Amino acid sequence: MPLRLLPLLFYLAVCTGCTAQADPPPPEDTAPYTFQSPSRDGTGKYYLSREISHVMGHLAADWLERPEREAEENVSQAIDNMDIQADEEIADIGAGSGYYSFRMAEKAPQGKVYAVDIQPEMLDLMRQRIEREGINKVELIRATESSPQLEANSVDLAIMVDVYHELAYPREMMQTIVSALRPGGRFVLL
């Protein structure tokens, strides 16, 4: 009986040895990103020598809706300066609570605003407002860290308000945003 087990043991030894000597999977391609010890508010991940920040969590959504925001940031003038046309399709990347999304939707009554965010809690906050107020010109989109999940050639205007520094994959995100812009489309970074 022990002699009959010997070939099985030999086979297991060979298979185990081959597995142990196999090359480890290649590390994720991190170019063009570099990594260092994180600063107090940073992630330790750098793109073009700039450290990427942590994403502002949904628990700070009230800060986005603060009454003094209009005076501090002159939001109405910023939106007016975007020259939004009535029929434009607009992507608000990192929409948060929808502070800009809902205001821009009023400027594009025949168009649509895509409120894009990675946090389901932020999308839930906007969904509650949409349902409460019967808003039909704002569509919610759950993004990934590297894509806004917009179709190619689908928007006339894409904006980011105080978001770019939080993008985990800024190069990939911007590539997908550019592909989502229609010919002659605009990108606004505030």
- What CATH code is carried by the domain that includes residue 127? 3.40.50.150
Range of the domain at 137: 55-189
Long-range contact pairs involving 99-104 (C-beta distance under 8 Å, separation at least 24): 99/64, 99/65, 99/69, 99/75, 99/161, 100/75, 100/159, 100/161, 101/126, 101/138, 102/129, 102/135, 102/138, 103/75, 103/76, 103/79, 104/79, 104/159
Q: How confident is the model at residue 185, as a pLDDT?
A: 98
pLDDT digits (tens, 9 = 90+) for 80-127: 999 999 999 999 999 999 999 999 999 999 999 999 999 999 999 999
pTM: 0.83
pLDDT of 25 above 50: no
The total domain count for the chain is 2
How high is the mean pLDDT of the chain? Answer: 88
Q: Are residues 157 and 127 in the same domain?
A: yes
Q: How confident is the model at residue 64, as a pLDDT?
A: 96
Proportion of the chain above pLDDT 90, given as a percent: 83
**Final residue in a domain of this structure, among 32, 50, 68:** 50
Q: How confident is the model at residue 31, as a pLDDT?
A: 80
